[in-house]
Structure 1
Amino acid sequence: MLTVLIVSCAGSKQRVTKKHLDKQLNENIYVNMFNGILIFDPISGDTLYQKNARKYFTPASNTKIFTLYAGLKYLPEKMPALEYIHWQDTLYFSGMADPSQLHPQFNDSTVIKFLQQQNSPVLVPRSSMDEPWAPGWAWEDYDSYYSPDRHSLPLYGNVAKIWYSDSLRVIPKVFKDDLVPTTGREKRLQDKNTFFYPLGSADTLVIPYKTSDSLTLQLLEKAVGKKIGTAANFPVADKKKLFSIPTDSIYREMMIESDNFLAEQLLLAASLTVGDTLNSDVLRKKLLEEELAELRDPPRWVDGSGLSRYNLFTPESMVRVLHRMYREVPRERLLSWFPAGGVSGTLEDWFGTDNAPYIYAKTGSLGNNFCLSGYLITKSGKVLIFSYMNNHFKTPSSEVKTAMQAVLAYIRDTY
């Protein structure tokens, strides 16, 4: 009798929830846009609410949830930085796509210190099936801070930091002769590392530089302080690996700050666990066909960051991957990777309360699109998993977020 009563009460609550949210999700703001939502209880296995949960959406940076899962499955606890062989007093080495070397956030110098200890370092450029940009990236973003090139041995985050202090300054310093004061809006020539700084500006600019193996060699020699040779191939011998910082620190920065560069490099690094060539496409296919073969709505997944508008994911697929991580990763560690509503990263100004955060979720923003997927902690202490995706709106994104807050706060207070 008690079981019947409990089931009846649960069913009644879900009916009330459906009626309430159906009304909220039919307000005027939603008339000329497309949205989908799935709210899931990982303990009971119940779907508490769903609308268009199996429809495909442009996910924007929600894509990074899949990139995070790829890193968890294929990368070790510390980032592989170099692959190398000592051969006849010479060190042959190749990059392994580690994004942390001399990165302004991590400022790791594991590779630099290692090479400084070598008598005759020789760089073996690594072959790649990935272009510096992924399919579907906007070409006009080439000089925007959020679109650095992908590369096998990135340095300084593949960006130049430029500011004015008695004279124009730049890091890396190799670009000091490539700075041009300007009155225009262009930040860099499209096909050349010539950078422009606005006259009279007090801002610090962060501008992607155009990568190449020759520039990587130049940057390395400057940082290491010695000549570095090049070779087309490694000698025939067993390779060793040099590791740098914990991957958790990269996951956290990627997710909380929505760092596109870190996301792209993580996929490249993970691809080297399944082959010697950088090939993120092979890595994505392997993850979807093996680890995530149960997905009912296989995504179209073309990059690590979500910059591409070619990506297509469903709310259900997002929730399934979030559920897998919830089962496989301790709660404190898992939530530490996500922006906290009203507290950190891309959610610092949204989804907050006067008490502890109740939303730990990844944002996804592109023009006319805003998505949010992650974990919701209810007033009763339940952890729910959700994906809430909004595409093709022309209203200000702040209005969409306000409407989303009302929906998620209702779920928080109801369960």
Structure 2
Amino acid sequence: MRIICSLLLLGLLASCSPISRPALTKKFNGIEKDLKDHTGFILYDLDKKKNVFEYNSAKYFTPASNTKIFTMFASFKILGDSVPALRYVQNGDSLIFWGTGDPSLLYKNVFNNNRVYDFLRNAPVPLYYSSSNFHTSSLGDGWAWDDYNYYYSAERSPFPVYGNIFTVKLEGDSPRIYPPYFRKHYSRGEQKERNQFIREIHSNDFKFHPGLRRSSTREWDIPIRVDKDIIVTLLSDTLKRDVKPVSKLIPQNTKTLYSMPVDSLFRVLMQESDNFIAEQLLLMCADAVSDSLQPEIAIKYVKENFLKDLQDEPSWVDGSGLSRFNLFTPRSVVQMWQKLYEMVPRERLFPLLAIGGKKGTVKNYYKGDPPYLFGKTGSLSNNHCLSGFLITKSGKTLIFSFMSNNFVAPTSSVRNNMQEILKMIHERY
């Protein structure tokens, strides 16, 4: 299979400068036939302000984490430069607060300036927490239900703590659990093929199953089963002071506490493809345009106010791309990158993205000196996508979207074809 693809790509090499549409189409037909997948591709020249090549660019594909491009765009449009952490009212004898969805409090994957922690820890009056503005399910539509035990499927919530995960480190046969609150939920289970920590689906009870085989994995991040009681319990335990739940609708006269620059979230979102941050950003957008933390509100608002000019209306249902209900076309993805490029200065935008050979999910691929690829990957089982900006040796900046769905070949085969094609365009366009 690799020999066939290499021969096709040799032909591509000869036809990329200038791009020969018939030759490129033939190469994509051959690769699609060889991999038995569905492939879409589009290449847009920023200088010429036009598409220079398209292959199935108007077909719909499962975007996986390319959905995060839409989420970042929404967040740039709605949130501004700072992350709203909580909304609060302070009466004479109490401080009542509501979450905005900010994922950063004590989340190890994000820089934390402790502003929210210090604000709550040092409040001079009793603390009361209300979750009355949260109106969505913990897991998204179209998510795989049996992924609940994996870190990439952390639950959505109005006021996350610790990124809605707890961490278990195995030292010998003894687990070290953080935060310590979850020690009481631990027990030991039967032996399995490999070391596993498995949480009960409807509670935070979890078991360690020692493995028959040695495993290099020594650390696990396990999603917390979230409700308002666990939120106030964790806050009380962490702040070393009582936080009590209260059922109170959010009033119009709340004040807002901000936690950090929004770029601190975007960098982890785009480089590490953090699903949890993506989902929480969409909740924050909903909070900003309504009084409800509900992703559908944010999606509807963005589509109606900013995306009516897309050539193909996206089927957009979550922030992260975990849902297989998401469907985008390659040309809509390129249009989204165009919007971001026009809205955000290049010197701010590019460092937030995965950088070929340098940072994020493309650190080991698309290598160049200097880097020539800045973008976002997206992967689910049998689906792999890549889109973003391609800098050519001639100095041009191109936008591309490469989407491959429904393949049964190894993802590495799909990625290798993407890498070779994009590198050739980089060298020859």
- TM-score tier (shorter): over 0.9
Q: Which moved more, 1:179-188 or 1:75-84?
A: 179-188
CA distance in 1, matches of 2:421, 2:16: 15
**Cα separation, partners in 2 of 1:107 and 1:180, compared to 1, 3 Å:** farther
> Residue type matched to 2:93 in 1?
D
Say which of 353, 360, 363 aligns to 1:345: 360
Contact 1:14 1:49 in 2 (8 A): no
* 2:229–2:245 Cα contact (<8 Å) kept: no
State the match for 1:244 in structure 2: 259
Match of 1:174 among 181, 194, 205: 181
Q: In the alignment, is the contact (CA less than 8 A) between 2:98 and 2:250 conserved in 1?
A: no
- 1:205-224 per-residue CA deviation (whole Å, 9 max, x = no partner) reads 11101001000000000111
Q: Which amino acid is 2:277 matched to?
A: L
Deviates more, 1:236-245 or 1:198-207: 198-207
Equivalent residues in 2 for 1:191-202 (5 A)? 191-199=202-210
- Structure 2 SS opposite 1:393: coil
User: Which one of 37, 41, 45 corresponds to residue 45 of structure 2?
Assistant: 41
Please report how far the alpha carbon of residue 23 of structure 1 lies from its aligned counterpart in structure 2 after TM superposition. 2.9
Q: Deviations over 1:385-410 (max 9, x none)?
A: 01010001111111111111121122
Give 1:58's aligned residue: 62
Contact persistence 1:62–1:373 (CA under 8 A): yes
Secondary structure of the 2:43 match is strand
Instruction: Quote the Cα distance in structure 2 between the aligned partners of 1:140 and 1:360.
Output: 33
Give the aligned partner of residue 3 of structure 1: none
1:284 aligns with 2:299: yes
Rounded to whole Å, the distance in 1 between the matches of 2:23 and 2:352 is 32
Structure 1 CA distance, aligned partners of 2:16 and 2:178?
58
Q: Per-residue CA shift, 1:355-378, capped at 9, x if unaligned?
A: 111111100101111000100000
Question: Is residue 290 of structure 2 the alignment partner of residue 275 of structure 1?
Answer: yes
Tell me, in whole angstroms, the C-alpha distance in 2 between the residues paired with 1:256 and 1:126.
Answer: 33
Q: Which residue of 318, 323, 334 maps to 2:333?
A: 318
Give the secondary-structure state (helix, strand or coil) at the position aligned to 2:263: helix
Q: Does 1:389 align with 2:403?
A: yes
Using a 3 Å threshold, how does the CA distance of structure 1 residues 209 and 396 change in structure 2: closer, same or farther?
A: same
Q: Which runs of 5+ in 2 are unaligned?
A: 1-14
Residue 230 of structure 1, CA deviation:
2.6
What number of residue pairs does the alignment pair up? 403
| Residue of structure 2 in register with 1:125 after alignment | 131
Whole-Å separation in 2 of the counterparts to 1:192 and 1:13: 56
Structure 2: distance between partners of 1:242 and 1:16: 52
Cα offset, 1:46, TM superposition:
2.0
Matched, 1:375 2:389: yes
1:21 equivalenced with 2:29 (yes/no)? no
Identity of counterpart residues, as a percentage? 38
User: Does residue 243 of structure 2 align to residue 228 of structure 1?
Assistant: yes
Q: Cα 1:175–1:107, aligned 2, differ >3 Å: closer, same or farther?
A: farther
How far apart, CA to CA, are the structure 2 residues paired with 1:115 and 1:368? 45
Between the aligned partners of 1:16 and 1:151, the Cα distance in structure 2 is: 48
CA positional deviation for 1:49:
0.6
Letter in 2 for 1:146: Y
What TM-score, normalized to structure 1?
0.93
Distance change (3 Å), C-alpha of 1:120 and 1:235: farther
Shift in Å at residue 171 of structure 1?
Answer: 1.2
1:234 & 1:67 partners in 2: Cα distance?
27
Aligned equivalents of 1:223, 1:303: Cα separation in 2: 30
Instruction: Report the CA distance between 1:15 and its aligned residue.
Output: 6.8
In the TM superposition, what are the counterparts of 1:45-194 in structure 2 within 5 Å? 45-106=49-110, 108=112, 109-118=114-123, 119-165=125-171, 167-182=174-189, 183-184=191-192, 185=196, 187-194=198-205
Q: Write out per-residue CA displacement over residues 260-295 of structure 1, whole angstroms, 9 at most, x where no aligned residue.
A: 000000000110111111111011011111111101
RMSD: 1.8
Amino acid aligned to 2:199: R
TM-superposition CA deviations, 1:304-338 (whole Å, max 9, x none): 00001010000011000100111111112111111
Aligned residue in 1 for 2:7: none
Separation in 2, partners of 1:70, 1:236? 25
- Superposition TM-score, scaled by structure 2 size: 0.90
In structure 2, the residue matched to 1:302 is: 317
Deviation (angstroms), 1:196 = 2.4
Distance 2:389 2:47 in 1: 13
Decide whether aligned partners of structure 1 residues 204 and 149 sit closer, same or farther in structure 2, where only a CA change above 3 A counts.
same
Q: SS where residue 27 of structure 1 aligns?
A: helix
Indicate the SS of the match to 1:297.
coil
Aligned residue type for 1:298: E
Tell which deviates more after alignment, 317-326 or 19-28. Answer: 19-28
Q: Which moved more, 1:273-282 or 1:311-320?
A: 273-282
| Residues 373 and 389 in structure 2, CA contact (< 8 A), matched pair in contact too | yes
- Which sections of structure 1, spanning at least 5 residues, go unmatched? 1-11
Q: Deviations over 1:41-73 (max 9, x none)?
A: 122112111011111000000000000000000
Contact 1:56 1:312 in 2 (8 A): yes
Task: Describe the SS at the equivalent of 1:273.
Answer: helix
Task: Indicate yes or no: 2:420 matched with 1:406.
Answer: yes
Q: Which deviates more, 366-375 or 171-180?
A: 171-180
**Aligned-partner Cα distance in 1 for 2:186–2:393:** 54
